[in-house]
Amino acid sequence: MGHGHHHHDHPHDAAGTDVPAAQDLSVPDGELSPSDVSRRGFLRGAGLLGAGAAASVLATPAAAAAGLPHAHGPAGGGTAKGGFRWLAGDHHIHTQHSSDGQYRVIDQAGHGHAYGLDWLVITDHGSNAHARIGVEKVNPDIQATRSALPELLTFQGLEWNIPAAEHATVFVHPGRNEVAVLKQFEQTYDGSQLPATNTEAQNEAMAIAGIKFLGEQVKARKVDGALFLANHPARRGIDSPHEIRNWRDADPSVAIGMEGAPGHQAAGIKAPNGRGGARGLYDNNPAAASFPGYPLEAYRTWGGFDWMTATVGGLWDSLLAEGRAWWVTVNSDSHVNYLDQSERGPGSDFEANGRYNDPVYTPTVNTGAGDFWPGFYGRTNVGATSFSYRAVMDGLRAGRVWVDHGRLVKTVDARVRVAGDRRRSSGTPLGGVLHVRRGTATELTLEIDLQDLPNWAQFVPVLSRVDVIVGTVTGPVASRDAFTAPDTRVVKSFEVSRGSSRLSVTYPLGRLDKPFYLRLRGTDGRRTQPGLLGAAIDPAGPKLDVIGDADPWGDLWFYTNPIWVLPR
């Protein structure tokens, strides 16, 4: 069902050699035309020129290096939304090769596929046993799964103990060296393999070196691609804002984003039918290694989402407002699944074997488990140009990604266009950058197919409202530990009329006078409260999840990644 991505000429290609004179600082002011001098002054004033802009979407060479799409929409006008084939996936899944896991690869992949996923990543914890043998032992199972389920793209990755920080998904394109690269990476850079005497600074440097190592393996053609996503980033407050910025800058072709929502979404289901804990297992408090600037609100989930993503004008927005491309995803983090009836294989010796024995059936229903099977609840939807490992990685890298919980909506096609341009083949998609001349009118076109099929909880979710969130792009921040974006807010909300099958709206974004970005958020409308930065910023944001009584099916949201509009 996929289609080719037809390359064609377009007027503003983002190649490094193609920088407009106003943006090319090697061209002195004196050699510019008067209009370019004025444009350069404008760009400089907006923080879009000079050092610091280089690591962002604001510098076209860097954008190209990061695989960012340029200022045109997908070509070809394929059968799927926006000319892309949207592939649903999950990048955070554990198996019997994790010290706290139990399932076979095929257990997880089979369920994920049955529940509608097109791709997934097996991410067992970095550990002594995994680094020594597990990372190799899991591979034949993954290969067998690829053969058994050809309609599912099964990546091998691992869950990296980021030195000095939280965990991260790391995965590579399948190939001859997939295990060798992952194994070398884990043995060299996993937090579990580093001396306990390391200082924080040494560990932070190791994290950066690890990301760079992955990029080097791609450049050396060992693997066809490698990606990094920070997992449950605010859970314990130990992913400081400057570390996140450093990871991105270490290699923007590898470090692409973070989990917008953690897994473990069943953990807040009320006892005795559920675990009765905190949604996402976000029940920690500041520790000595936590970033001292984070408020207590950072340690809990809001409508199931991580505080960094859930807060309008918060940490995620502070990165986007800088022009720093950083994407969000959702996942299952499946270890042991809610209402499953299996348990770890008896007689296991994880340390010796690098895995637990295969799970066995029990007559007991596990109501205390906090996880859902992959695909059961959350989806990371990637706009791909074809059904392939590479296309999924490219789509992720480009930020052509929207996420939802509980199948809240069927499809999302959001594009920013020059006002009036309605060509099917044009419009800048999620993750993209539209460059237009100052004064050009742009608009958002949004088409959402509302859900008409029941989800895995057997009801048809109803989208109640869609929010358009817009932020001014301010360029590089003075402090790399900044985590607010004061100019970002909800600018428009669309109520969805009940019973409709489609939401189709156009929202004018005005004539470009300063660079900005937008992102979208939708909700079933059941649980909202004013945003943490005030009702003027976010009148009806996600609500703090209730400890011990957070029904994941009664509080559904979708989020899209951003689109930037920048002056040419």
Q: Site residues (CB under 8 A) for another protein?
A: 99-100, 125, 199-200, 236, 264, 270-271, 276-278, 281, 283-290, 292, 296-297, 299-300, 302, 335-336, 369-370, 529, 532, 544, 546-549
**Least distance to another protein, CB of residue 283, Å:** 5
Rounded Cα distance between 200 and 506, Å, is: 48
Q: Which is nearer to another protein, 264 or 324 (CB)?
A: 264
Q: Which is nearer to another protein, 41 or 534 (CB)?
A: 534
**Least distance to another protein, CB of residue 305, Å:** 13
Rounded Cα distance between 166 and 278, Å, is: 18
Q: Which single residue is written with the structure tokens 């029941």?
A: 454
Q: Which of 86, 83, 65, 87 is nearest to 427 (CA)?
A: 83
Q: Which is nearer to another protein, 153 or 336 (CB)?
A: 336
Q: Which is nearer to another protein, 39 or 355 (CB)?
A: 355
**Least distance to another protein, CB of residue 183, Å:** 20
**Least distance to another protein, CB of residue 131, Å:** 14
**Least distance to another protein, CB of residue 255, Å:** 21
Q: Which is nearer to another protein, 247 or 356 (CB)?
A: 356
Q: Which is nearer to another protein, 167 or 183 (CB)?
A: 167
Q: Which is nearer to another protein, 297 or 487 (CB)?
A: 297
Rounded Cα distance between 169 and 180, Å, is: 17
Rounded Cα distance between 429 and 48, Å, is: 22
> Could you give the C-alpha distances from 166 to 107, 127, 226, in angstroms and in order?
27, 14, 19
> Which residue type is seen at 92?
H
Q: Which residues have CB under 8 Å from 521's CB, separation 6+? A: 466, 467, 469, 557, 558, 559, 560
Strands 557-560, 409-418: pairing kind: unpaired
CB 448 within 8 A of CB 466: yes
> Which residue type is seen at 4?
G
CB 310 within 8 A of CB 541: yes
Instruction: Please work out, in degrees rounded to the nearest 5, the angle formed at the alpha carbon of residue 538 by the alpha carbons of 407 and 530.
Output: 90
Q: Which is nearer to another protein, 210 or 370 (CB)?
A: 370
The SS3 call for residue 156 is strand
Rounded Cα distance between 325 and 59, Å, is: 11
Beta partners for residue 564, in sequence order: 433, 517
Strands 433-436, 563-567: pairing kind: parallel
**Least distance to another protein, CB of residue 160, Å:** 12
Q: Which is nearer to another protein, 292 or 363 (CB)?
A: 292
Read off the tokens for 563.
């689109």
**Least distance to another protein, CB of residue 404, Å:** 23
Q: Which single residue is written with the structure tokens 């005497």?
A: 197
Helical H segments across 220-280, by residue range: 241-250
Q: Which is nearer to another protein, 116 or 286 (CB)?
A: 286
- Half-sphere exposure of 363 toward its Cβ, with a 13 Å CA cutoff? 0
Q: Which is nearer to another protein, 216 or 297 (CB)?
A: 297
**Least distance to another protein, CB of residue 127, Å:** 8
**Least distance to another protein, CB of residue 200, Å:** 7
**Least distance to another protein, CB of residue 164, Å:** 10
Q: Where does residue 52 fall: left (phi above 0), alpha (psi -120 to 50 degrees), or beta otherwise?
A: left
Per-residue buried b or exposed e for 413-442, using 16+ beta carbons within 10 Å of the residue's own CB: bbbbbbeeeeeeebbbbbbbbbbbeeebeb
Beta partners for residue 466, in sequence order: 494, 522
**Least distance to another protein, CB of residue 457, Å:** 20
Find the radius of gyration of the CA atoms of the chain.
23
